[in-house]
């Protein structure tokens, strides 16, 4: 059995190492937080990142109607003359953490899925603006806990990429250990014994440091085995 880490983790770690000019993501320190995801997308990958109150209008006319009534959180548009990420302006106003997660999610599609034009959620070959394809991502795909923990599919993979990028595992573990004062002990076992008010305060504090939503932070801690079920 191969011990190669999953694709989303490798892409996130490579992105962080390249952006911060480190030899590996293991050199990340708390000084790199919060991860500047918008700058990574625009200055490192040259993707325009914008906000809009009507994401569906950014799509080709022929498919706009299909997305008009859905609660879209983010879009990725790619083509010969187009490299754009759009996030829902209404959602961004409500939560900067969600806005950042959506940008990271779309960046995940850009890095992992744009060479797979047969994807069900990506429709190819639109002539408008040289657009080659797009991902239209709904709120339920990105921001619901159940979809984020789904094991398969491109939406789940983009969410896992976003979590790895915004909340690098070793930094999450380091901060969690310092907050729970368990750095010298087997953190996992002891941390699971945290009282409810303690872990809620811990999640809130960590969410602030990483500039993500508390929900995303809680899911990440669960993924890393630092907390049991929320």
Smallest distance, Zn ion to C-beta of residue 159, A: 8
CA distances from 161 to 12, 31, 59, 67, 142 (A): 6, 21, 24, 24, 12
Return the number of the residue (91 or 155) whose C-beta is nearest Zn ion. 155
Task: Give the other-Cβ count within 10 Å of 5's Cβ.
Answer: 12
Contact 166, 210 (CB under 8 A): yes
CA distances from 22 to 8, 16, 188 (A): 19, 8, 29
The contact pattern for Zn ion, residues 152-191, with x = CB under 5 A and - = no contact, is: ---x--x---------------------------------
Task: Please give the angle made by the CA atoms of 219, 91 and 154, to the nearest 5 degrees.
Answer: 50
CA distances from 50 to 75, 81, 141, 185, 228 (A): 10, 16, 20, 45, 36
Smallest distance, Zn ion to C-beta of residue 82, A: 17
HSE at residue 117, side-chain half, CA atoms within 13 A, is: 10
Smallest distance, Zn ion to C-beta of residue 72, A: 10
Residue 77 engages Zn ion in binding (rule: CB under 5 A): no
Task: Please give the angle made by the CA atoms of 80, 99 and 52, to the nearest 5 degrees.
Answer: 60
Return the number of the residue (104 or 172) whose C-beta is nearest Zn ion. 104
Return the number of the residue (85 or 194) whose C-beta is nearest Zn ion. 85
Question: In terms of Cα–Cα distance, which of 100, 94, 56 is closest to 209?
Answer: 100
Smallest distance, Zn ion to C-beta of residue 139, A: 11
Smallest distance, Zn ion to C-beta of residue 141, A: 5
Contact 124, 133 (CB under 8 A): yes
Binding to Zn ion in span 93-122, by CB under 5 A: none
Smallest distance, Zn ion to C-beta of residue 153, A: 9
Return the number of the residue (19 or 135) whose C-beta is nearest Zn ion. 135
Return the number of the residue (77 or 137) whose C-beta is nearest Zn ion. 137
The contact pattern for Zn ion, residues 118-137, with x = CB under 5 A and - = no contact, is: -------------------x
Return the number of the residue (158 or 172) whose C-beta is nearest Zn ion. 158
Residues lying near Zn ion in the complex (CB under 5 A) are found at 137, 155, 158
């Amino acid at each position: 059995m191969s011990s190669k880490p999953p694709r989303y983790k490798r892409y996130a770690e490579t992105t962080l190492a390249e952006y911060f000019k480190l030899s590996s993501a293991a050199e990340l320190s708390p000084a790199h937080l919060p991860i500047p995801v918008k700058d990574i997308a625009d200055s490192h990958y040259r993707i325009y990142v914008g906000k809009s109150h009507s994401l569906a209008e950014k799509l080709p006319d022929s498919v706009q109607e299909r997305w008009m009534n859905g609660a879209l959180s983010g879009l990725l548009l790619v083509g010969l003359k187009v490299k754009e990420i759009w996030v829902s302006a209404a959602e961004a106003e409500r939560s900067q953490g969600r806005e950042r997660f959506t940008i990271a999610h779309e960046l995940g599609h850009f890095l992992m899925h744009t060479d797979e034009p047969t994807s069900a959620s990506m429709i190819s070959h639109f002539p408008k603006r040289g657009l080659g394809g797009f991902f239209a991502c709904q709120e339920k795909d990105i921001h619901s806990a159940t979809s984020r923990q789904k094991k398969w599919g491109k939406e789940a993979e983009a969410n896992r990429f976003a979590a790895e990028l915004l909340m690098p595992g070793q930094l999450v573990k380091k901060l969690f250990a310092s907050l729970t004062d368990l750095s010298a002990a087997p953190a996992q076992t002891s941390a699971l014994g945290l009282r409810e008010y303690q872990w809620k305060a811990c999640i809130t504090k960590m969410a602030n440091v990483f500039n993500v939503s508390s929900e995303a932070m809680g899911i990440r801690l669960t993924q890393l085995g630092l907390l049991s079920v929320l």
